Amino acid sequence: MTDLNKTAADAVQDAPRNPAPAGDPFLSVRDLRVHFDTDDGLVRSVDGVSFDLHKGRTLGIVGESGSGKSVTSLAIMGLHRSKRAGITGEIRLDGEDLIAAGPDRVRQLRGRELAMIFQDPLTAMHPYYTVGQQIVEAYRVHHPQASKKQARARAVEMLDRVGIPQPDRRVDDYPHQFSGGMRQRAMIAMALVNDPSLLIADEPTTALDVTVQAQILDLIRDLQAEFGSAVIIITHDLGVVAELADDILVMYGGKCIERGPAETLFDAPEHPYTWGLLGSMPRLDRELQERLVPVKGTPPSLINVPSGCAFHPRCPYADLTGGRSSSELPVLTEAAPGHHAACHLPVAERHRIFAEEIAPRL
């Protein structure tokens, strides 16, 4: 069995490219802020992020380390300790506000309606319990009436579903007996055991090799098509979001600086930071460039976020805005249908710069 390989071209072909659906979004985040009070000052990890997500769609959140993408996902999952984190704003899941709801209510939802896949499956799984025991626990917490036997059958079924060979035997293995890719599959099985409606994958493939990454991305795509859940995928890898996401949200310094459908975001990015990200990554699908074009400087501190646009100290076009970049906070405005960006540069000017200077280099 294992020596059989298939080309995934046909699997890619029927990937759902559904247009943005109308109606109420399944998850709606409004002006989410997560601040941490530390000895050094207030860390504004997430500072006013809003987005909507419909069932059956995938949102990709992209950003560098410290941009607030993981903190956003932990806030949705209700995994911040309330004493340490000041969370304001609104997170509506199917109309119910999770921030206003108590921790008990969120605990009921977590694992059943909301599930998460973590980056490093070795630290996210308990080394002391077998993989099966951990999946069974996740199932029985939300299905108290299920017998041990039923729960175990369900665990085996899920392991089979995520492509683990001989699931009835491997269910009794410990996490260390699994390879990295299999552990990530087991964690996906654990996340999906209660058929969640919202799945958050935080850097699900960062710790994996490319060949395994391709397998896992395919798996997530297939499972979403099958279960119709909403998926948030958080990553720093633009290649991964391009493979999976319908919509993309780019974060910088705790804020959303650009948001739009995947195609337009890659074809006609609006924000200079997004240009910088695209320009600084070497790409296999393009002619080799002599030199990469890095974004100068380093990501901002979240304690002393630069005034005005947080990106202005690194932005090559900041002086074209007549000083507004450093004094005035840019707001997200619609630059193209469904495509928003927070930049002071006039839209026409941005399009000119992109067409003349950026696009030829990409």
Partner 1 sequence: MTDTQATEAAAIPSSTPADVREPLLKVTGLTRHFPIKGGLLRRQTGAVRAVDGIDFTVNAGETLGVVGESGCGKSTMGRLVTRLDEPTGGKIEFEGTDITHLGVGAMRPLRRDIQMIFQDPYSSLNPRHTVGTIVGAPFKLQDAVPEGGLKKAVQDLLELCGLSPEHYNRYPHEFSGGQRQRIGIARALALRPKMIVADEPVSALDVSIQAQVVNLLDDLQRELGLTYLIIAHDLSVVRHVSDRVAVMYLGKVVEIADRDSLYSGPMHPYTNALMSAVPVPDPRRRQQGGRERILLKGDVPSPINPPSGCRFRTRCWKAQDVCAAQEPPLATLKTGHQVACHFPERSEGNE
* Burial group, residue 325, by CB count within 10 angstroms (0-12, 13-18, 19+): buried
Q: Do 302 and 45 touch, CB atoms closer than 8 A?
A: yes
Q: Which is nearer to partner 1, 138 or 278 (CB)?
A: 278
Reduce the secondary structure of 49-85 to three states and give it as a string: EEEEECCCCEEEEECCCCCCHHHHHHHHHCCCCCCCE
> What's the CA gap between 19 and 163, in Å, rounded?
30
Q: Facing residues of 341 across strands?
A: 258, 333
181, 187, 190, 195 alpha-carbon torsion, rounded to 10° = -80
Tokens linked to 6? 């298939």
**Choice from 238, 309, 310, 341 touching partner 1 (CB under 8 A):** 238
Candidates 283, 307, 331, 357: give the one binding partner 1 (CB under 8 A). Answer: 283
Check: CB of residue 306 under 8 Å from CB of residue 312. Answer: yes
Contact string 288-327 vs partner 1 (x = CB under 8 A): xx-xxxxxx-xx----------------------------
Q: Does 225 bind partner 1 (CB under 8 A)?
A: no
121 vs 196 by CB, closer to partner 1:
121
Considering the rule CB under 8 A, would residue 253 count as an interface residue with partner 1? no
Among the candidate windows 129-137, 138-146, 278-286, 315-323, which touches partner 1 by CB under 8 A? 278-286
Q: Minimum distance from CB of 277 to partner 1 (Å)?
A: 6
Binding residue for partner 1 (CB under 8 A) from 96, 263, 319, 328? 263
Q: From residue 35, how far is each of 55, 92, 128, 200 by CA, in Å?
A: 29, 19, 34, 21
Question: Under the criterion CB under 8 A, does residue 284 sit at the interface with partner 1?
Answer: yes
Give the full edge-to-edge strand order of the sheet including 27-38: 41-53, 27-38, 85-93, 96-97
In the complex, minimum distance from the CB of residue 274 to partner 1, in angstroms, rounded to a whole number: 11
Choice from 39, 40, 104, 285 touching partner 1 (CB under 8 A): 285
Residue from 59, 109, 138, 182 binding partner 1 (CB under 8 A) = 182
Q: Which is nearer to partner 1, 75 or 248 (CB)?
A: 248
Restricted to residues 2-31, the positions that interact with partner 1 (CB under 8 A) are 2-10, 12-15, 17
Q: Which residues bind partner 1 (CB under 8 A)?
A: 1-10, 12-15, 17, 64-65, 165, 179-182, 209-215, 217-218, 236-243, 245, 262-263, 266-267, 276-285, 288-289, 291-296, 298-299
